[in-house]
Structure 1
Amino acid sequence: MNDTQLMTLAREYGTPLYLFEQTALSDRVALLRECLPARAELCLAIKANPFALPIIRPYVHRLEVCSPGELNICEACGTAPEEIVLSGVYKDEAMVRHALSLGDIHRYTVESLAQFELLRRLAQESGRRLPVLLRLTCGSQFGMDADDIRALVAAARDDAWIDVRGLQQFSGTQKTSLRRVERELACADALMAELEETCGFVCREFEYGPGLPVDYFDAPDPAAERAFLEQLGDKLDAMAFQGPLTLEIGRGLTACCGTYLTAVVDAKTNQKVNYAIVDGGIHHLTYYGGAMAMKQPPVRFLEETDGNGKQCEAVSPAAAIDDAEASAESWTICGSLCTTNDILVKSLPVRDMHPGRVLAFERAGAYCMTEGVSLLLSRELPAVVLADETGTIHLARPRTRTDPLNTPAVVP
């Protein structure tokens, strides 16, 4: 959306505000499908952005759910159970029972021997054979060692209640090392070959979480990103396993679709440093906050256009630096939390700073709206709006008070 459209949204819904755009998601999925193997299906890890479900569902095959709350969200959005992969390091009995009540969940991941026993017991109780993926660890708390997987494959042979479909492997997040990816895929290949040779177990499918990286601060380099994705695709194609492949992706799908708007509410100079206070802050931009004190984020002040689409008199940060005659000053942008950590940007060149000006932060489509310290100071949660493929705006969440969540239920 252009600046005028964003300003219209800011006036209508107020700031702070999140905007998630379907066209960005569509373009991102198209790029992934061009670069990755044709056999690869896409699974969205909804923890990255549950609000994007209505506008991303046409482009992905599955949704990864890791908590009872996420399962509730899927149910509320009308997600069919066969579209859900029930994952997560902690699956309690109530969560699994709820999943069973919804119908035939596509897959259940097994993170431990205890999870296997829980799933088997509830499968037997419900009279339903459950399709599972055994999760192979990559050296973190996620998944299981190869020895545990070997034991479960042997134990589950011809099991009446558990159908082991294959393996799942979660690489991590923000993974820029293709060599590490290659090592992980080789490890999975070796284990699958061993299981076939020693147990007669043929892996029928493989799900992999590649942890696609997102560069939040440098200018986008489409050629470099395409090259990275194509190399990843080559490594997936080079696997010995050539069966059905699912790629579980969160940030790498949704980061591109989000814009965060926040407005200046105060401006002052303390000890020769210019400070602008905005109505948002690091509680809304977790993956930016803090790091922005050292790096320049993709942020701009919105400038409305005239009737001909020409920008009104304004200066962007980059232009302010290059223009020797520009009367730009250096400003530190701080959020509304009463903590010295709430710094969004340092040394931002700005001309004509005043309350009411609106900043737009790009690449805010993953985690920002859910992972911040949103209850600190009991400020409202921002509204969330979705722009569908026609540009029509839909309110996904109104501005929401948090003080009821921080109010004691009993006062002595």
Structure 2
Amino acid sequence: MNKLIITEMNIKGVPCLICAAEEEGRIMEIRLEPMGKKSVLGNIYVGQVENISSNIGAAFVQISPGERCYFPLAEEKYCIYASARKENRPLKPGDEILVQINRDAMKGKLPALTSNLNFTGKYLVLTTGDKKFGLSNKLCSEDRSRLSKWLEDEILCPDKEYGIIVRTNAADAEKEEILRELSYLKKQYQKVAVDGKSRTCFSRLYETETFYISAARDANSRELSEIVTDVPGVYDRIAQYLSENSADEKDKLRMYQDKLLPLHKLYSLEKAIETIEKEKVWLDSGGFLVIQQTEAFVSIDVNSGKFMGRKKAEETYRKINLEAAREIVRQLRLRNLSGIILIDFINMENPDHQDELFHVLQKLLRKDPVRCRAVDITPLNILEMTRKKVRRPVIEDLRELCNAL
């Protein structure tokens, strides 16, 4: 079963709040924020178009004076305008539009914006741009049928102003809980996307939940066994959130009070952070990975290292590759690596071993909450995959802490 661990730690001499996800006894994800600093990812603003760069298919939009963000022109079709605008004309400088930050600033790149506003609950996501009805791919056919029936009135409603996505967690919810959350998200939509059009430029219309509340909300209810923290204020906020939104899960929350063994020591969070900072990751077999991030992509090289199998070399390489696949999926989540990822496995010439490895990797990637896709194996025997960019890599957060000193 899985756990969420929320605690305070000094990292690089900076006091931080850290939220870690443990699965099957291993730390799989880490998010951290310096104390007193809050991420803006997911916030919604009345932004103002500064200029249009048609050559790169983008506009630059300010969400506060001097704070520029990247806005793809493909999003223009979803725009909700807060300023007067004549019909059927393209976006132009000075236009005021409602925008949501949907990607952190990364490697010197500006934060990215969307005009397809998302209001996220535990069971549903309400969207303003894509007005379709959708269900999580992780829901079984029986759950999909039942949930679609519960939301039939919404599905059949003509001229909908918003779309609805049913999340994986909805599988364990009662109909009343689903409809209650839908009503709440509709009120958020009205307040932000409708009433927000009359707000002044640069107004912040919606502030996202604290990152550890989002982690508790997004965790798979069936697999989450415990939320543990040693921070009283965090415990109180999560307890309040669960009471209001997921009362059945309040028993999963625990306050850790052993002062002799700090929570971050108990779960070896310092060791996990040290791993993130290293390019080389050792495998239990004696093989190792070399993980390097470039401007264009992430490269991962699998090496046999100290592993000396008793059987023929081909079977040895197969075993290392399968072990490496499991560790690679963990490292992608732990480091929050994204974009194009190229993996050079060992001796990928046997077609049967290629197929086995490709399908094992696909199965492992399905457990990742972030959208991933194993694409292909190239003629040079390099496995290509992608992982959606949302938050910046954890190593960038760690480097920022060093710069803050």
Higher RCO structure (Cα 8 Å, ≥6 apart): 1
TM-score of the pair, normalised by structure 2 = 0.26
Higher Rg of the two aligned structures: 1
